[in-house]
């Protein structure tokens, strides 16, 4: 599964890797890898494969509701919920400042079990914020499942402290498996500490 999904991400152009000319994120982080899984929603065949793997993983749980993270996780959660004939909700980054001020759209009840569907996990902050929002209304989050994870140490630490299971269909180490060993090691090193990586590689802001 990991290798198949990694190949899909590369072939579709969802992921680009360039150690020599890294990408600058909006957050300011410099990265040798850039991932935009939104392109995958426009590719029916690849979409079908990814949703199938999501469904296989979700079936391992006794889940009541499928939750998607706004905005990129919403279509994937909708397709998974439809396949499994389960209710769906989506979680905003923060509560609306108007109307009823909801952060969670859809119906979720105290005590219901939930699996959160995400498109990718970097630092884990936005994904875990969705977990906290769901827990705040009394839901039991069984797992967060993403298409891709950067395998950042900060994300592992966050989910570990928050006592939340996290899974991904593929990961950065599977994605760069066929790269030259020197470049592969540099990419994996970035995931462990992005700030230190930028300094070590000699890139100036």
Confidence (pTM): 0.92
Contact between 118 and 90 under an 8 Å Cβ cutoff? The reply is: no
Q: How high is the pLDDT of residue 100?
A: 67
Q: What is the pLDDT of residue 65?
A: 98
Token pair, residue 153, equals 């140490």
Query: Burial level of 163, CB count in 10 A (0-12/13-18/19+)?
Result: exposed
**pLDDT of res. 115:** 98
Cα separation, 66 vs 45, whole angstroms = 22
Q: Is 111 left (phi over 0), alpha (psi -120 to 50) or beta?
A: left
Q: Looking at residue 97, what is its pLDDT?
A: 63
Q: Which residues of the chain have pLDDT under 50?
A: none
Domains, the chain, in order of start with CATH, read 2-201 (3.40.50.2020)
């Amino acid at each position: 599964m990991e290798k198949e999904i990694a190949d899909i991400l590369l072939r579709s152009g969802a992921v680009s890797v360039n150690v020599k000319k890294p990408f600058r994120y909006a957050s300011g982080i410099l990265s040798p890898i850039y991932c935009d899984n939104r392109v995958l929603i426009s590719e029916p065949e690849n979409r079908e494969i990814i949703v199938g793997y999501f469904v296989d993983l979700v079936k391992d749980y006794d889940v009541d509701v499928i939750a998607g993270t706004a905005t990129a996780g919403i279509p994937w959660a909708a397709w998974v919920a439809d396949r499994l004939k389960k209710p769906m909700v989506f979680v905003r980054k923060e509560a609306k400042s108007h109307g009823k001020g909801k952060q969670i759209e859809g119906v979720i009840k105290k005590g219901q079990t939930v699996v959160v569907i995400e498109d990718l996990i970097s630092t884990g902050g936005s994904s875990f914020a969705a977990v906290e929002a769901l827990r705040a209304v009394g839901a039991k989050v069984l797992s967060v499942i993403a298409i891709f994870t950067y395998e950042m140490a900060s994300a592992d630490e966050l989910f570990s402290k928050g006592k939340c299971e996290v899974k991904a269909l593929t990961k950065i180490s599977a994605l760069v498996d066929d790269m030259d060993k020197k470049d592969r090691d540099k990419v994996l090193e970035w995931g462990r500490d992005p700030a230190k990586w930028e300094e070590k590689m000699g890139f100036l802001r």
